Structure 1
């Protein structure tokens, strides 16, 4: 009897140990779980973290992430509506909103990424095909006034009708119609990078170089015109200043000559003999030198003061 009781106690302890070892599980923070029994889901998904119980050995716990996950697609070559081929590199944020449906429809995060690649890449391709390149590379708040400081020619500024951010919103809206059936909630989609393919990129670079050369030539032409205008204005102002200075000099010289003539007239009228004597001395200074020989008539006015000087001696 005691042996039977000991055997029964051992069986009970083993059962309790097995139950504790495989019957309880801990659900960490940021995780959610679905309990399956023979491959079929049992009950509601477990979302709250903590110590949980399941039937040992019969039931299995499938864990899924509850946090926001990142999908990063491969760059794809896509033609725009205006027949320009571009590489589109997209990214998105998503999370498992319904783990039970996710388990039944998808199963793993790797398959979910592959599924999102088909859904999002296809939606992006459709919308890029329907829009011109300008709508893909410029945001909806882009305007001539906003970008005037960075664009050389305002004639080149063409505001977009939709814009990159609104196209991203349209991709999110279209893709979000499909993902709920897989237990996935799509939070946002972004066009991470847009780039030309190699052949188009070379043509764009050539066009950019030509445009910069055109702008440079326009600036040089404007500078030359401005230079000619400044030089013309400087030359005109110089001629005006020179003419004004000459006129003023002529006026001053005329006034001085008039004043001198007036003084001479006053001196001549008051002291005629002395004035005649001074003028004769000035004439002597201009005519006579050490090697000068003069032949004068006896009644010459120039000889008059010389005779007086000779007679006085």
Structure 2
């Protein structure tokens, strides 16, 4: 092997070793799908990438900070807020946001934790500002369908109308002019104005739970219990009225049926008595003496059955019990 060849091989080995050392220092990095990165050198931003791929950096000098491109959620802490009617309510919100400019985001926050803390304060502030300017009905309702149902009163049956009168169901609720959806848009717009230029897009803010404060819970529950008891009492009163009505009808029907039955029975008895009288008359005309004897026997059986002995001076009544000589 010549001297030149040895020198060439030595340089080749040196180059390979340097290349391996270069690769081992980590000059390459990968940006995955759904990620975006900011490259800093001595705390100064030198580059950023929002597309997935393989990229090169200066080893030991460049730092890669990775942020998600996906939509992120922020669950706020429940907070006590006063409505326009000075009612204290507990509002628990959730919001969605994403990083649209990683460079601006790094300049303002650097880390996601810092962004969460700052964004949470902004969301709570915008939520409080909007809610304090509106009534409770605007916060919990999105339409006036509860009042529109009143227009279908004509479709209800008489019993339902009567129940509604007993429980004062004609009360009209407050008319909603904005509604919950519009208030959510206002919260989002107000918060978005404050984070403008921070590399953040706030998609929405939604109150996931709205409830009365602990001080009002008991009074609200008592009011609901009173209302339900009133409705229950109305149904009981209506039921008692219907019961009395049906019992009255029952008694009238019983009297009507009994009267009609008595009338028919009297007609039947009258017809039977007439027929019996006709039969008796026909029998009497055929044999008067036998008819008189038969009627006397029937009378004895009816009148003397409870008497062991009979004493009377009226002998005509007992003429069939004694002979012509006065003996039995």
TM-score (norm 2): 0.80
285 and 109 in structure 1: CA distance in 2 versus 1, 3 angstrom threshold: same
275 and 23 in structure 1: CA distance in 2 versus 1, 3 angstrom threshold: same
Deviation at 1:97, TM superposition (A): 0.9
User: Counterpart in 2 of 1:60?
Assistant: 63
27 and 310 in structure 1: CA distance in 2 versus 1, 3 angstrom threshold: farther
User: Counterpart in 1 of 2:180?
Assistant: 164
1:37 aligns with 2:41: yes
Q: For structure 1, which segment, 191-200 or 172-181, has the greater mean C-alpha deviation from structure 2 after superposition? A: 172-181
User: Structure 2 residue aligned with 1:234, among 235, 245, 250?
Assistant: 250
1:114 aligns with 2:117: yes
Deviations along 1:177-236, one digit per CA (max 9) or x if unpaired, are 333411111222221111211111111111112212222222222222122112212112
Asked if the contact 2:28–2:55 (Cα under 8 Å) also holds between the matched residues in 1, the reply is: yes
SS of the residue corresponding to residue 302 of structure 1 reads: coil
Asked if the contact 1:26–1:50 (Cα under 8 Å) also holds between the matched residues in 2, the reply is: yes
Distance in structure 2 (CA, Å) of the matches to 1:20 and 1:178: 45
User: Counterpart in 2 of 1:183?
Assistant: 199
> Any gaps of 5 or more consecutive residues in structure 1?
none
User: Counterpart in 1 of 2:219?
Assistant: 203
SS of the residue corresponding to residue 143 of structure 1 reads: helix
User: Counterpart in 1 of 2:301?
Assistant: 285
Asked if the contact 2:25–2:60 (Cα under 8 Å) also holds between the matched residues in 1, the reply is: no
User: Structure 2 residue aligned with 1:83, among 82, 86, 100?
Assistant: 86
Deviation at 1:102, TM superposition (A): 0.8
Deviation at 1:275, TM superposition (A): 1.3
User: Counterpart in 1 of 2:97?
Assistant: 94
288 and 47 in structure 1: CA distance in 2 versus 1, 3 angstrom threshold: closer
User: Structure 1 residue aligned with 2:317, among 285, 293, 302?
Assistant: 302
Asked if the contact 2:97–2:202 (Cα under 8 Å) also holds between the matched residues in 1, the reply is: yes
107 and 275 in structure 1: CA distance in 2 versus 1, 3 angstrom threshold: same
TM-score (norm 1): 0.84
Deviation at 1:120, TM superposition (A): 1.4
Asked if the contact 1:81–1:133 (Cα under 8 Å) also holds between the matched residues in 2, the reply is: yes
> Any gaps of 5 or more consecutive residues in structure 2?
153-163
After superposition, the CA RMSD in angstroms is 3.3
Q: For structure 1, which segment, 165-174 or 236-245, has the greater mean C-alpha deviation from structure 2 after superposition? A: 165-174
1:48 aligns with 2:65: no
1:208-287 to structure 2, matched below 5 A, reads 208-287=224-303
Asked if the contact 1:19–1:56 (Cα under 8 Å) also holds between the matched residues in 2, the reply is: no
SS of the residue corresponding to residue 162 of structure 1 reads: coil
Distance in structure 1 (CA, Å) of the matches to 2:286 and 2:195: 126
Distance in structure 1 (CA, Å) of the matches to 2:287 and 2:16: 162
305 and 30 in structure 1: CA distance in 2 versus 1, 3 angstrom threshold: same
Asked if the contact 2:30–2:53 (Cα under 8 Å) also holds between the matched residues in 1, the reply is: yes
- Counting matched residue pairs gives 307
User: Structure 1 residue aligned with 2:31, among 27, 36, 39?
Assistant: 27
User: Counterpart in 2 of 1:105?
Assistant: 108
Distance in structure 1 (CA, Å) of the matches to 2:93 and 2:281: 105
Distance in structure 1 (CA, Å) of the matches to 2:178 and 2:146: 12
Deviation at 1:71, TM superposition (A): 0.6
Distance in structure 1 (CA, Å) of the matches to 2:24 and 2:148: 70
